[in-house]
Structure 1
C-alpha cells in the first residue's frame, strides 16, 4: 500500500489494540464484549459466514438454510471472539489460574508415556482454546513445544511468539527443517503439540473427514513415523463453572502407535486415523471449531496441474 500501512501491518496494530482492551475490562464485561463482537462479525462477515455454514453443515447434518444451522454458526463466531479475548488476557494470569480453571480427561495416557521416558506427540484442532491448554500444561509441569504458522509482518509473528512463550509454551516456526527440530524435541522426551486439522497449502494426504475428501497436514503422522512416539489426539472446549466463571476442559483420546503403520501408504493411513479421532472430538462441540476458511477439497480452488 503506497504511502500507508499494508493490510498485514494494520492487523498488527489491531491485535495490539485489542489485547490492551481485553486486559482493561473486568472479566464479566470482557466476555460480554466478546460475545457482542462475535455477533456483529456474524452479521457483517458474509463471506466467512457462508463458508462456516458449509463447514458446519457437513458436521452437524443441518440443512442449508435452517434455523438450527444459523444458530450454530452464530455460536461459532461468538466462540471465536471469546478465543481471542481469552488469548489476550492469558498473559495477566498466574500458573495457579490455569491449574484452577483447566481440567483434562485422558491425562493418564500422557503421564504413562512420559514415565517411560518417551516423547509425546499431541495433535489438536482449531477447537476451543489451544493456548489455554499449553499454559495449563506448562503450569502442571508438562511443558510443550508447539508449532506456529509464520505470519506476516514478522513483528506480528513475534508478537504471538512472545505472548505464548510468556505462558511457558516453546514455539517452533513452521518453516524449513521444522520436522527435524520437532524430532529432536521428541527424542529428548518432550511433548510436542501440532494443530493437525488445517492444511494451509492443500498438499497433505487426502483423507475422509466427515464423509468427504479433505487434505490434512502430514506433519503429525510424519513425526510419529520418524520418532515412533505415541500420537495422542486432543480436543479443548470452553466451560462455565458453577460460580459462573469461564474455564476449559480437554479430552485426550487413547494413544495411536505409529509402529502399527508401515508400507507405502503408512503416511496416509496414519493421517486418516488422526482425522477419524479429530472427527470424534469436533463433533462434540462443532460450534467451537474455528475454521472459517475452505477446508474440504470440494470447496478449495483447483490446483494448477
Structure 2
C-alpha cells in the first residue's frame, strides 16, 4: 500500500518535471546538490574517496569543487528522468543539439556488423538511450526496479522510441547475440560491478576494479564493433551533446583480463570529456575491498572506511 503510494507520487513528480525546461531543472539540481553535500555523508564520502583514487593530484579545494559539481550533475540526471521518459519526443530530440562520432555506428552497419555501445554512468544515459533507439534497432539489458509499481513507467519510457529491453540473465544475453548477428546495436553498462563469477579484476584509474566479462564473449561470437557512447550535458541546461568514441583496441582481445582493461580505458576516455559528469558516488571498488578483507592492515587502508 505504502509502496504503491510512493510509486504514484514519484510518477506524478516525473510527469510534472517533464514539462519543465532543462534550464529550470539545472537550477533545481543546484539546490538539490547543496542539500546533498550538506546532509548526505555517504554520497560526499564515497565521491571524495573515488576522486582521491582517480585524481590524486587534486588539492582539497579542487576535490571539494569536483564533488559538488558531480552531485549537481547526478541530481540533474534524476530530475531529467521524466523529461527523457515522458516529455514529447520532439522536445527530447530538440534538446540533443550535437552528435559526434555517428560515423562509427554507420560504418559498422554498412559492413553488416553489429555495434556494442558501452554506456557508462556519465551525463544523462537515458537521453543516450532515447537517441540510439530513435535512430537504430537497439537492444539493452534491463533489471526491473525494486519498487515494482514503477516498472511499467520506466519500461514504457525506455521502449517508447523502439528499444527492446531484455532481462539480465542468459536469456537476455542470447537476445543481445541475436541482435548483433542482425547487425543491430546493443547497449551494455561497462562500469557497474557484476556478481561474483561474472567478472575479472582490471585497473580502473590505476586501481583494480571488478569488471564484467560479457563484452569479449559477445565480440568473439559476433565480430561486432565496440564504441563508447555518452550524452554530455551542455552548460546551464542548454541541452545535450551525444558522443560516440572508438573503443580501446584491447576490448577485442580474447583474453578476458586484457579485454576488461580495454573496457575500463573506454570509460576513462568518456570521463575525460567532463569528469564532473561521472557518477562518482557509486562504490566502483567495493568488490576490490571484499577481495582484500583477509589482507593484513586491510581496515587501515580501506578505501570506503568511514572517517
Cα deviation, residue 115, structure 1: 0.9
Structure 1 position 185, deviation (Å): 1.0
Q: Deviation at 1:297?
A: 4.8
Whether the 8 Å contact between 2:140 and 2:163 is mirrored in structure 1 is yes
Distance 1:177 1:112 in 2: 29
Query: Which stretch shifts more, 174-183 or 189-198?
Result: 174-183
Give the aligned length.
Answer: 292
2:288 corresponds to 1:288: no
- In the alignment, structure 2 segments of 5+ residues that lack a partner are 295-307
Query: SS where residue 31 of structure 1 aligns?
Result: helix
State the shift of 1:118 in Å: 1.3
Instruction: Give the counterpart of 2:81 among 79, 83, 87.
Output: 87
Contact 2:43–2:281 (8 Å) recurs in 1: yes
Q: Counterparts of 1:118 and 1:258 in 2: how far apart (Å)?
A: 18
> What SS does structure 2 have at the residue aligned with 1:206?
strand
What CA deviation, in whole Å up to 9, does each residue of 1:39-68 have, x standing for no partner?
2122211112100111122222255x7111
TM-score with structure 1 setting the length? 0.85
Matched residue, 1:274? 263
SS at match of 1:205: strand
Q: Distance in 2 between matches of 1:278 and 1:300?
A: 21
1:54 equivalent among 29, 40, 49: 49
Deviation for aligned residue 1:304: 9.1
Q: Deviations over 1:154-200 (max 9, x none)?
A: 33333211111124332122134221111011111110011111114
Shift of 1:258: 8.1
Counterpart CA distance in 1 for 2:217 and 2:253 is 11
Using the TM superposition, give the Cα deviation of residue 273 of structure 1 relative to its aligned residue in structure 2, in angstroms: 0.9
Q: Does 1:261 align with 2:253?
A: yes
Q: Quote the offset at 1:70 in angstroms.
A: 1.0
1:167–1:36 distance in 2 versus 1, CA, 3 Å: farther
**CA distance in 2 between partners of 1:248 and 1:285 (Å):** 13
Separation in structure 2 between the aligned mates of residue 261 and residue 24 of structure 1, nearest angstrom: 46
Q: Is the 8 A contact 1:228 1:259 kept in 2?
A: no
RMSD: 2.7
> Per the alignment, do residues 134 and 178 of structure 1 end up closer, same or farther by CA in structure 2, a change over 3 Å counting?
same
1:154 aligned onto 2:148? yes
1:303, distance to aligned residue in structure 2 (A): 8.5
1:145-224 alignment, distance < 5 Å? 145-201=139-195, 203=197, 204-224=199-219
Corresponding residue of 2:121: 126
Maintained 8 Å contact 1:186/1:192? yes
Contact 2:73 2:276 in 1 (8 A): yes
The one of 106, 110, 116 equivalent to 1:115 is: 110
1:251 corresponding residue in structure 2: 243
What secondary structure does 2:162 align onto?
Answer: coil
Q: Judge which range, 103-112 or 193-202, deviates more.
A: 193-202
Stretches of structure 1 lacking an aligned partner (at least 5 in a row): none
In structure 1, C-alpha distance between the alignment counterparts of 2:233 and 2:166, rounded to whole Å? 26
Deviation at 1:107, TM superposition (A): 1.4
8 Å Cα contact 2:216-2:253 kept in structure 1: no
CA contact (8 A) 2:251 2:260 kept: no
